[in-house]
Amino acid sequence: MLSVDSDRRRRPTLDTVAAAVGVSRATVSNAYNRPDQLSSSLRERILETARSLGYAGPDPVARSLATRSSAAVGFMLPQGLSGAFSDPALSIVLDGLASTVDGHDHSLVLMPGDATGGPRPSIVTRTQADVMVAYSLPDSAPAFEAVAARGLPLVVIDQPVLPNSARVEVQDYLGASLAASLLLGLGHSSFGILTFSLHPDGVSGPVSFERRSAAPFRVSRDRLGGYLDTLEKGGVKPDNVPVWEARGSDRELGRLGARWLLTRTPRPSALLCASDQLAFGCLRAARDLGLTVPRDISVVGFDDVPEAAYSDPPLTTVRQPLADKGRRAGELALKLLAGGRPPRPTRLDVSLVERASTAPRT
C-alpha cells in the first residue's frame, strides 16, 4: 500500500480548495487570516469545503516563509534536558515564558546544550525560530556567535551580558549577601559553600581559587562572590571557607557535596547553597551524619522553589521571582519580535525568606 506516501504527497493546498470553491487563492487565504475581507457566507462555504477536502489550514512552513516569521521562540539550555530539568527553577521559568508566548501563538523550541555550555552552533543555525532566549549560558558559549550570525534578536536570562540583547536577571550577588549576613548575624563563623557549576565541564569537587575566579557562569560566580565577600567583611577569611562545586543542581549532587563539606575540620556550622535543590541535599546529608538542622547546622538555599516551604525543616532561602522571570523574558522576546529595541536590563528583586533551617550558633 503506497497510499500513505501518496496521501502525504498529495495533500490539498490552498489552490485545491480555491479551485473546488471556484474562488481565487487569495480569498481562501483571507478566509483563514482575514475574515473581514470576505462575506461570511462565502467564508463558511470555503471552510466547509476545506473540511470536506481534508485541508487542515494553511501550511505553517509556507506561511512562515511568506510572512518571514516562524512564530517560534528558541530556548537555549546550558545542558542536556534531563540535567536541565532536574532543577525545578528552570521548569518554573520556562512555564512562565511558555504561557506568555503561547498566548501570542508562538511555540517553543528547545535547544539542549552540550559540554560547551550551550547548544551546538549547527543547531542554532538550523532551528526555525525568530527570536532566541538564552538561559544561563556561559559567556563563552559558541551558540551566541551563531545567533549573531543569523541576526536574530536575543533575550538573555541571567547571563551573559551581551551587547544588543534584552536581558532579565536577578540580584544574585545581593541575595547571596543577604543570606551570608543573616548567618553572620546569628553568630556563625565557620562556613561551607555549595555551588552548582562554575564551568560547563561537568566536574564536581572542591573548588580552587583559579577555577572560581575564571568561572564562565555568572550566576554561580555572583552567588559565590556574594557569599564570600560578605563573609570576608564579617571577618571570615575566604581561604578558610571550603567550597564544593556540584556539576548540576539536584539534591543528590547536593548531598554528595554536603557530605564532603560536613566532614571538614573544623566542621562548618553553616552551609550556604547556590540553590534550594542543593540545600535539600544538605538537609539529607546532615541527617545521614546524625546532625540536626538547625541545631547543629544552619542551611540556606537560593530560589525559594515551592517545596522550600515544605522541606524538613522548612528552608531559609533567598527568594527570586521565578515565574516573573520567565514571563518577563517572554514579553521581551515578543517585544523584540515586534521590532522593538532591547530595553535596559530588567533586574528582579530578591528577598530573604527566613524559615526554620537557620538558627543562632550554639
Binding site for a copy of itself (CB under 8 A): 4-5, 7-8, 11, 54, 56-57, 60-62, 64-65, 70-72, 80-86, 88, 90-92, 94-95, 98-99, 102, 105, 107-112, 122-123, 125-128, 146, 149-151, 251-252, 255, 284, 287, 306-307, 310, 312, 339, 341
- CA–chain centroid gap for 175, Å, is 18
Nearer to DNA, 60 or 202 (CB): 60
Helix ranges restricted to H, the chain: 3-9, 14-21, 25-33, 40-53, 60-67, 81-84, 88-102, 121-126, 143-150, 172-185, 209-213, 218-233, 251-261, 276-288, 322-337
**Smallest distance, DNA to C-beta of residue 353, A:** 48
Burial code (b: 16+ CB inside 10 Å, e: under 16) for 6-45 equals eeeeeeebbebbbebbebeeebbbbbbeeeeebeeeebeb
Stretch binding DNA (CB under 7 A), from 9-17, 167-175, 260-268, 285-293: 9-17
For 303, half-sphere exposure in the C-beta direction (CA atoms, 13 angstrom radius) is 28
Whether the CB-CB separation of 144 and 78 falls below 8 Å is answered with: no
Nearer to a copy of itself, 229 or 307 (CB): 307
Q: Decide which of DNA, a copy of itself, none touches 321; Cβ closer than 5 to 8 Å per partner kind.
A: none
Scan residues 232-251 and list those touching DNA (CB under 7 A). Answer: none
Q: Decide which of DNA, a copy of itself, none touches 125; Cβ closer than 5 to 8 Å per partner kind.
A: a copy of itself
Which amino acid would we find at residue 217?
F
Nearer to DNA, 63 or 211 (CB): 63
**Smallest distance, DNA to C-beta of residue 31, A:** 9
**Cell 522593538 belongs to which residue?**
340
Q: Contacting DNA (CB under 7 A), which of 23, 132, 156, 300? A: 23
Scan residues 119-158 and list those touching DNA (CB under 7 A). Answer: none
Per-residue binding string, DNA, 24-53, x by CB under 7 A, is xxxx-xx-xxx-xxxx--x-----------
**Smallest distance, DNA to C-beta of residue 64, A:** 8
**Cell 559565590 belongs to which residue?**
224
Q: Decide which of DNA, a copy of itself, none touches 297; Cβ closer than 5 to 8 Å per partner kind.
A: none
**Residue 34 φ/ψ region, left for φ over 0, alpha for ψ in the -120 to 50 degree band, beta for the rest:** beta
Q: Say how far apart CA 98 and CA 283 lie, in whole Å.
A: 32
Expressed in angstroms, the distance from the first to the final Cα of the chain is: 79
Q: Say how far apart CA 239 and CA 252 lie, in whole Å.
A: 26
Nearer to DNA, 57 or 80 (CB): 57
Q: Decide which of DNA, a copy of itself, none touches 23; Cβ closer than 5 to 8 Å per partner kind.
A: DNA
Scan residues 264-323 and list those touching DNA (CB under 7 A). Answer: none
Q: Say how far apart CA 71 and CA 63 lie, in whole Å.
A: 10
Q: Decide which of a copy of itself, DNA, none touches 5; Cβ closer than 5 to 8 Å per partner kind.
A: a copy of itself
Q: Decide which of DNA, a copy of itself, none touches 32; Cβ closer than 5 to 8 Å per partner kind.
A: DNA
- CA–chain centroid gap for 195, Å, is 17
**Smallest distance, DNA to C-beta of residue 123, A:** 16
User: What does the CA dihedral 289, 290, 295, 298 come to, rounded to 10 degrees?
Assistant: 20
What letter does residue 233 receive in the DSSP assignment? Answer: H
- Residue 98 makes contact with DNA by CB under 7 A: no
Q: Decide which of a copy of itself, DNA, none touches 19; Cβ closer than 5 to 8 Å per partner kind.
A: none
Q: Say how far apart CA 266 and CA 162 lie, in whole Å.
A: 42
**Cell 562556613 belongs to which residue?**
191
**Smallest distance, a copy of itself to C-beta of residue 146, A:** 7
Per-residue binding string, DNA, 53-92, x by CB under 7 A, is ----xxx--xx-xxxx------------------------
Which residues of the shown chain bind DNA in the complex (CB under 7 A)?
Answer: 11, 13-15, 22-27, 29-30, 32-34, 36-39, 42, 57-59, 62-63, 65-68
